[in-house]
Amino acid sequence: MELHVTKSGEKTLYIPSMDETYHSRNGAISESKHVFIQHGINRTKGDIHILEIGFGTGLNALLASQEAKVQNRKIAYHTLEPFPVPNELLIELNYGQLLKDEKLYKKIHDSKWESNELITNNFTIHKTKQKIMDINLHESQYDAIFFDAFAPKKQPELWAKETFAKLFKSLKNNGILATYSAAGQLKRDLRSIGFQLEHPPGANGKREMTVGKKTPTL
Ligand SMILES: C[S@@+](CC[C@H](N)C(=O)[O-])C[C@H]1O[C@@H](n2cnc3c(N)ncnc32)[C@H](O)[C@@H]1O
């Protein structure tokens, strides 16, 4: 794993063996804000429970905790990460500085794994060192799911239909799943599971992303 500078000057991480970055090569913060704040949190109301697949650098968690404060809502954030980013690399990432919340970013990273941790009055985090395929999720638990795995072409096993069926069950009625991908197979799988799909424009000029909603059945 190594540092990579995106076109907007923000850093992200790069995995040479996969030729894959943790965020869009055109900009990390702009992508996270667009996909997971604008089309994730902002499509929900009130106090919410979020599940994230792929904690990675913690950028989505930082943005979500900032948004909880700005919108005066409470967010309980459950995030999965089987391969935590080493500290030497985390301190090189400049998100805390760029988002003017270095202490908050550090607190999110310093919080204990496998425990509910209070980060601010509006934000708690629970970091789980487990793979999405291995975890048991309760039914009707989450209001929003941030599906931020590596690209389907790079890690197809994470985009298996069974995974999305499990995630669908774990969503409350009217809950949403947001992801940057709009791959054909993903659309077909989500639709057949029962998600109602929307494909707004993606981040940084990308044609489409995906928002799947669990609409109540009669
Ligand atoms: C695109 S990056 C996530 C970016 C992250 N949300 C951020 O803001 O930095 C994908 C993440 O998924 C994690 N991952 C890999 N296999 C996984 C699995 N089986 N279950 C959950 N997460 C996984 C990777 O270690 C990586 O941190």
Kindly report, residue by residue over 13-30, the tens digit of the pLDDT.
999 999 999 988 888 999
Kindly report, residue by residue over 151-163, the tens digit of the pLDDT.
999 999 999 999 9
| Of 13, 60, 6, residue with least CA distance to 37 | 60
Residue with CA closest to ligand 1 atom 13: 54
Asked whether 80 lines ligand 1 (CB < 6 A), one says: yes
Distance 42 CA to ligand 1 centre (A): 22
- Contact residues for 57 (Cβ-Cβ < 8 A; gap 6+): 12, 13, 22, 23, 28, 85, 90, 93, 95
Residue 217's pLDDT is 75
Kindly report, residue by residue over 163-178, the tens digit of the pLDDT.
999 999 999 999 999 9
Kindly report, residue by residue over 96-133, the tens digit of the pLDDT.
999 999 999 999 999 999 999 999 999 999 999 999 99
- Contact residues for 166 (Cβ-Cβ < 8 A; gap 6+): 132, 137
> In CATH terms, is domain 27-213 a member of 1.10.3210.10?
no
Residue 94's pLDDT is 85
Do the Cβ atoms of 85 and 54 come closer than 8 Å? no
pLDDT at 218 over 70: no
Testing ligand 1's pocket by substitution, the residue of 128, 148, 155, 162 carrying the most ligand atoms inside 8 A of its CB is 148
Distance 203 CA to ligand 1 centre (A): 18
Note if the pTM is more than 0.85: yes
Asked whether 148 lines ligand 1 (CB < 6 A), one says: yes
